[in-house]
Amino acid sequence: MGMHTDTERCVRAVRSKDARFDGWFFTAVLTTGIYCRPSCPVVPPKPENMVFHPSAAACQQAGFRACKRCRPDTSPGSPEWNHRADLVARAMRLIADGVVDREGVPGLAARLGYSTRQVERQLLAELGAGPLALARAQRAQTARLLVETTGLPMADIAFAAGFSSVRTFNDTVREVFALSPSDLRTRAAPRNAPPSAAPGALSLRLPFRSPLNPDNLFGHLAATAVPGVEEWLPHSPDGVGGAPVGAYRRTLRLPYGHGIAALAPHPDHIACRLTLTDPRDLTVAISRCRRLLDLDADPVAVDDQLRTDPVLAPLVDKAPGRRVPRTADEAEFAVRAVLGQQVSTAAARTHAARLVTAHGTPVDDPEGGLTHLFPSPGELAALDPGTLALPRTRRATLTTLVRRLADGDLHLGAESDWADTRASLLALPGVGPWTADVIAMRALGDPDAFLPTDLGVRRAARELGLPSTPAALTARAETWRPWRAYAVQYLWATDSHPINFLPV
């Protein structure tokens, strides 16, 4: 059962205004008819007037409106969906990716391999709301963001947020926020005026649970950036919040078009600017940026577990809150993982850049040096292996992987079962444990993926006095479960490799 069933613990969190629990549960107040996040700044209600729900959608289903002070609809996502691979967790990841809006509940169920009735029953049992209600809550949040931070006409916002009609949009906004869309825009105008940005760009803040150490997160993305697809700008472009450091930028392949995301770390949020060719991709783009930066993680739970090992404890205490740098495109990362087998970071970037130049889709980027979308499996399926400057065996591995992805025989996405997908990867010629596990860690988001054969991990293990053979290190790492992917970040951080440092 979820945390919302532990009334005493929930009351303590609300009384202490503990922001760590934002997104874990929501507080509905019987006397006012509103629902809040645990850290709401208002005076906490009496315990007998509080009921707790596992999702914003469940609160809305029960007739409660979102608090205007704490804006519970903008809480970080529940970390439950990050460390689980069961049906409910995979469904929630797909809903966040906009699948219900694009394909309906039957499409969601088909991706999961279950009947619609089974999906609805399990979501309702755990979250107090079915897939349609959960998707509706997400549409309301997207609509609010567009209303408050853009000057788009309300009709355009309605369809961009995924509503089927302007009337449904108006009714939902009034029901959820107790304000009309126009009133929302009027109230937000003085404090939420977006900074100057290029036409068509949307600036927003991505919340996270503290602490967040940006060094290895942005350092890894910048050090491994594929030219033309990704870049690090030393100074944040206008509209990315004036961060004291620079911004990571990349192109995004999205359901209705493409986009460019610029992401910059701040102490209490990630400044994000999105430029989209189709506003209907906003929800998906936000979801993929959050997944890329692992923003829904629970760093306190992770670090508390890793601190139980006396060898890891000093590393955690020195720089807590490390995240796992992930990806905005699972298939792209799988291709890059194969290109990176047994070569340096620089060589892997060079191989990937050649693929991008030869097969990627060109894009315009007036603000930087982004030139292409990374080629899709379909675009790579026809490539001539002889044009690849790779050993013959690795060429065969790459072409087999691309063909399996393009044919749909191999699925890498939010709906993937981690164990089954890892087994499917290992069945491919030339894909060994390191490749399968790094894909599981960074593409699939498995928080317990481990890399005992990785050279950086083994070097760190030797320096720290940990077993350095894969079998012995894996046995020692049992106490780090279910957070071994995060332990890898702390082990990597003992090295002076550029992936561990923010670029200057």
List Cα–Cα distances, 269 to 176, 212, 236, 247, 259, in angstroms: 25, 9, 15, 13, 21
* Run of H or E residues at 339: helix 330-339
Cα distance between residue 117 and residue 98, in whole Å: 20
Q: Pick the catalytic residue from 101, 281, 303, 454.
A: 454
Q: Which of 92, 71, 18 is nearest to 205 (CA)?
A: 71
Indicate if 454 belongs to the active site: yes
Give bridge partners of residue 270 from the DSSP assignment: 206, 265
- Amino acid letter, 282: L
- Amino acid letter, 486: Y
Cα distance between residue 170 and residue 63, in whole Å: 17
Q: Cβ atoms within 10 A of the Cβ of 343, count?
A: 15
Strand order in the sheet with 201-206: 201-206, 270-276, 258-265, 247-253, 230-233
Q: If you write DSSP's letter for every residue of 144-166 in order, what string do you get?
A: HHHHHH----HHHHHHHTT-SSH
What's the farthest any 2 CA atoms get from each other in the chain? 71
Find out whether the peptide bond into 452 is cis, omega within 30 degrees of 0: no
Q: How far is CA 184 from the centre of its chain?
A: 27
Cα distance between residue 65 and residue 182, in whole Å: 17
What is the three-state SS of 315-334? Answer: HHHHCCCECCCCCCCHHHHH
- Amino acid letter, 127: L
Determine the angle formed by the axes of helices 330-339 and 345-359, rounding to 10 degrees: 120
Indicate if 67 belongs to the active site: no
Cα distance between residue 285 and residue 106, in whole Å: 23
Q: Which of 292, 384, 397, 295 is nearest to 336 (CA)?
A: 397
Judge whether 178 and 119 are in contact, CB under 8 Å: no
Q: Cα-atom radius of gyration of the chain, to the nearest Å?
A: 23
Q: Pick the catalytic residue from 10, 22, 36, 289.
A: 36
- Residues catalogued as catalytic: 36, 454
